[in-house]
């Protein structure tokens, strides 16, 4: 594994730095714009300069640059260092856009990708259902083709952001007679229509990020299907792959750990900074070992990708490793807080910046839920065991079909 960059890539890093120096933060009247508008204006310029949306063709609103994982990493590093807005975050840009690029039809790409990466339309994901749990393929929401429309009836649950979404990409059972994995289709639909009811679910953090979504004769056009009829399970695996990559990014774990160190520095124990306590230092060192291992595993995968080599089975571990580390970091933070851990949880933040005590409480609670997102920890262990180690299929899953 070679972690150094060649002269060619260092030259590219200089180009990125020069662009950032002249473009971020915005100046003059533009600096007075609301935060979202400032970010949108900067992203538009970064796309035009070829630094964002690099894998997306220009006809779909991207900058259409040649694939280069090292340049992509340099851009992420330098944008983070300058605290400049990077790629639009969220389910639409991170999960649906790459799925459409791989599996979508031409008109779907032209209609949906550009406004999604610009943040003009917001998506939610309709996968989970009551009673399905981790056995996603047992879902029961039905879509029946009537003329030129799919008519949808059923219920989804744990739908992040459904209350503010413009569209949903969802899995529906369209072939009742087929075996469960073969009877599912991947549909796009508008959330702004009669027949869709969104009910927020209150979390223990006090926030309501998730929702129940009820469909009563909701409709979507016949050609708003991604992939072929009955092959939605295969399309969904493409989306899940990108979701797990998003959750498993080592950069998030490293940023959260750095914030934990800051907490240990400002928190006192027996009149001294907690970071001077040998027991706390031991736990921090252990955690840093996990974080750095995860980070360098990412570098190893990056190096292989740069050489057009298969990153191998280790990438199956990224999401599980990341969520485990996140929970361990949050548990130590809660121990450092002591009685302050009884605070009402605050809104979770990203990045290495300082967190309030209330935000650390929120971070701990969120870390429990993140182990479920993108497939539960148990499902991840099954994937590692079966696909990575070649072990027999899980007996319970095999019995269900």
The rounded distance, in Å, linking the Cα atoms of 348 and 346 is 6
User: What is the C-alpha to C-alpha distance for residues 283 and 264, in angstroms, rounded to an integer?
Assistant: 11
Whether the bond into 143 is cis, omega within 30 of 0:
no
Catalytic, out of 243, 328, 344, 347: 243
SS (H, E, C) the chain: CCCCCCHHHHHHHHHHHHHHHHHCCCCHHHHHCCHHHHHHHHHHHHHHCCCCCCCCCHHHCCCCCCCCHHHHHHHHHHHHHCCCCCCCCCHHHHHHHHHHHHHCCHHHHHHHHHHHHCCCCCEEEECCCCCCCCCHHHCCCEEEEECCEEEEEEEECCCCCHHHCCEEEEEEECCCCCCHHHCEEEEEEECCCCCEEEEEECCCCCCCCEEEEEEEEEEEECCCEECCCCEHHHHHHHHHHHHHHHHCCHHHHHHHHHHHHHHHHHCEECCEEHHHCHHHHHHHHHHHHHHHHHHHHHHHHHHHHHCCCCCCHHHHHHHHHHHHHHHHHHHHHHHHHHHHHHCCCCCCCCCCCCCCHHHHHHHHHHHHHHCCCCCCHHHHHHHHHHHHCCCCCCHHHHHHC
* Residue 243 annotated in active site: yes
Q: Are 225 and 187 in contact (CB under 8 A)?
A: yes
Give the number of other Cβ atoms within 10 Å of residue 235's Cβ. Answer: 23
What residues are annotated to the active site?
243
């Amino acid at each position: 594994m070679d972690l150094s960059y060649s002269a060619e890539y260092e030259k590219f890093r200089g180009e990125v730095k020069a662009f950032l120096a002249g473009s971020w933060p915005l100046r003059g009247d533009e600096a007075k714009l609301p935060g979202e508008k400032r970010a949108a204006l900067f992203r538009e310029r970064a796309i035009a300069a070829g630094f964002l949306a690099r894998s997306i063709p220009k006809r779909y609103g991207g900058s259409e640059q040649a694939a280069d994982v090292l340049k992509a990493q340099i851009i992420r590093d330098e944008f983070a260092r300058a605290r400049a807005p990077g790629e639009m975050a969220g389910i639409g840009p991170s999960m649906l856009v790459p799925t459409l690029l791989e599996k979508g039809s031409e008109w779907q790409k032209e209609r949906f990708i550009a406004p999604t990466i610009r943040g003009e339309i917001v998506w939610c994901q309709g996968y989970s259902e009551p009673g399905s749990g981790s056995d996603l393929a047992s879902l029961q929401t039905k879509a029946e083709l009537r003329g030129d429309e799919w008519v949808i009836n059923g219920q989804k649950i744990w739908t992040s952001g459904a209350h503010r979404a413009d569209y949903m990409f969802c899995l529906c059972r369209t072939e009742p007679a087929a075996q469960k994995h073969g009877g599912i289709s991947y549909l796009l639909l508008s959330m702004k229509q009669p027949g869709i009811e969104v009910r927020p679910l209150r979390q223990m953090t006090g926030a309501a990020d998730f929702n129940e979504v009820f469909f009563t004769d909701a409709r979507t056009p016949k050609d708003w299907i991604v992939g072929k009829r009955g092959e939605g399970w295969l399309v969904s695996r493409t989306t899940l792959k990108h979701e797990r990559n998003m959750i498993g990014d080592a950069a998030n774990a490293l940023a959260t750990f750095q914030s934990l160190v800051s907490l240990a520095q400002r928190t006192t124990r027996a009149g001294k900074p907690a970071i001077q306590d040998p027991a706390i230092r031991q736990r921090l060192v252990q955690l840093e070992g996990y974080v750095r291992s995860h980070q360098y595993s990412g570098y190893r995968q990056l190096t292989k990708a740069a050489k057009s080599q298969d990153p191998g089975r280790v990438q199956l571990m990224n999401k599980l490793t990341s969520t485990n580390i996140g929970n361990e970091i949050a548990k130590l933070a809660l121990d450092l807080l002591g009685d302050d851990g009884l605070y009402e949880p605050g809104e979770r933040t990203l990045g290495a910046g300082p967190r309030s005590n209330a935000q650390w409480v929120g971070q701990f609670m969120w870390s429990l839920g993140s182990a479920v997102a993108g497939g539960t920890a148990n499902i991840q262990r099954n994937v590692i065991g079966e696909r990575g180690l070649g072990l027999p299929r899980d007996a319970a899953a095999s019995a269900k079909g």
